[in-house]
Structure 1
Amino acid sequence: MSPDDNACTRRDFFQSIFKELASTAGSLATSLGGGLDLVEKSGRPAVHAPLKPFVRPPGAVAEDKFLERCTRCDDCVKACPEWVVRKTGPEFGAKLEGYPVLLPAENPCVFCTGLPCITACQTGALVQPAPGAPVRIGLAVVDNARCYMGQGQPCDYCVKECPVSPKAISLSARGLSAGVNAALCTGCGECAQICPANAITIEAKR
């Protein structure tokens, strides 16, 4: 047998092993009710949920309409002078990959004058708010079980960092928890970014 024949034999052997493993994984998913898409049709491992909470850029329409209208052209990403708007990667799953998002806890939105991200959008996925209307991308939610104040430790970083006036986040009368005024919160993410206990998340607007 020639060296080339040996190489083909080994290659065929390993290919058959991989096919068998894939078949076994598929059978396991089916036996569990079909709810475990272990492998996408592309052959990549399926991902069912984003690794990090995200919100859409300012001016985003309702999520279903946003996904219909957004062409993933990157115009809003390129227009953001703060480099806050970014594209999702494969870790977000095939259905959400490539769409623009913000990760407020990492890079808060400063709501630039004129909202260039919205101006850049030509498909209606992002729309300018009515004159005088506040721009909101989400809502800060405090996990008081993790909050330092809830553990009796003094901390007011979130209150000091909140850029809204009057403050959208405040301490309770006894100083044992932080509360968010949903009518004032813009979801910018400043409080979430600075929180030393990682007790604040930004939920996407409904």
Structure 2
Amino acid sequence: MSVGLGGCVSGEGGGPSDDTAPGGQIGGVHVEEGGCDEERVDIGADDVSPLGFSARDALSALSGERSAPLAWSKGGSTTATVAAGELVAARFVRSTVAKSGPGGAEPAVAVDCADHLQLDVPLAFSTEDGAFDESFAVTLRVPEVGAGRFFHRIDLDALQGSYEVTEVDPTEFREVFVYLSGELTGSAVSGTISGMAEDHPVGTGPEGSVSAQPFSVADF
């Protein structure tokens, strides 16, 4: 069985280069991802999008430091701080539920396919106890002014903080991934740090399989 992290929230992982299609005219740039059909077009920082606000308006409502209490899954607590930086690039995304199956039936699983802006920005994430002190590029998903979500796979080989994976034994798995997801709203921030430990493949070819064990790191 294969287990992965993903979803319709296009652009919430990995930063601009991972999942952002080049700009173009609406209808000319088309992506189908996670149950959503998406058409993306580059916009300028001050261009008023079809949502009624600009990228600069959206980021102004989300920029600046935000802190929240963080609880470690293994026990203990600290404070997490998140800060979004200056706008690098922006896109308007028209998103609709993808048609699939016989007769164009909609997916059975509910997905969030609302129109939104994608804002490429640098993000700083740190914890008061020093476990994390990271900076990386993310793409904020902004459906309305004052609300933005992000998703990022943390590079465990390039950590500036002291965090080490102890929730599982990394030596027992082929690869271990840790993910940061969060939501900025008004002056608040909330989110989770979670992980996925991938087993060594069983078998080869079409009959081969890989299983993965999810684990929780922290909530804030």
Q: Give the TM bin, normalised by the shorter chain.
A: under 0.3
Higher strand share: 2
Given the two structures, how large is their TM-score scaled by the length of structure 2?
0.23
Given the two structures, how large is their TM-score scaled by the length of structure 1?
0.24
Higher helix share: 1
